[in-house]
Amino acid sequence: MFNDITGQKVPAVTFPIIANDTWSARSSEDIFANKTVVVFSLPGAFTPTCSSSHLPRYNELAAKFFANGVDEIVCISVNDTFVMNAWAKDQDADNISFIPDGNGDFTQGMGLLVDKSEIGFGKRSWRYAMLVKNGIVEKMFIEADLPGDPFEVSDADTMLNFINPAAVQKTEIAIFTKHGCSHCAKTKALLAEKGLQYEEMILGEDTSITAMRAITKADTTPQIFIDGKLIGGNDELTKYFS
């Protein structure tokens, strides 16, 4: 079992950070004092689940978190500041603060430092998320102590549901897209702005234009479905939200 420090103060740590090619630092006091902060921590930058699901969804839902009283969303990983900066740039995650716990001091203080030497990672963070108010942990979502890299409870939707169940997405969305489609890019940006998750089917990869035409009776992209109903393209989606 991993340590659950709900009701306790977060570890007091100073994090060396490179910002604009200059060394600086952020302390636990700076990050957590007099603020409501959502933290999610993960095994490593650029790793599959972290890059494809964990981080992107927190970034997508950031507007909903902020609208529900969260002041900052923090991603902590046992990586150095250069790696975390490169990952932030690669993910285009402007809504997230990337905190490099390079020495593992914060993670060790949380009781969540684990040994992943068998896969060449050394000491890393176990995957978890927590809601912190004025430096005190109000709620923790710690992944079960199972082999591999479980990802069941530390996701953004679970955290948002704890903060405000009414803010959680109730609709199911699927979109047909193709590479190089500017309207598709606008559609995905609009859905991300609304904090909505969707299933994307890319022509030539996940499906064919013939299949899309058979389903939608259209041959232009994007084609958007919400709860089984065909909405249409980007213009129709914009009208749908207005």
Sign of CA dihedral 73, 46, 141, 62: positive
Q: Within 13 Å of residue 136, how many CA atoms lie on the same side as its CB?
A: 5
Alpha carbon distance 98, 46 (integer Å): 13
What residues form DSSP beta bridges with 14?
27
Q: Tell me: cis bond preceding 147? Omega within 30 of 0 counts.
A: no
Residue matched to tokens 């402007």: 94
238 CB neighbour count, 10 Å cutoff: 12
Question: Is 50 an active-site residue?
Answer: yes
At 120, list the tokens: 């060449």
**Catalytic entry in 50, 75, 181, 184:** 50
Which residues form the catalytic set? 50
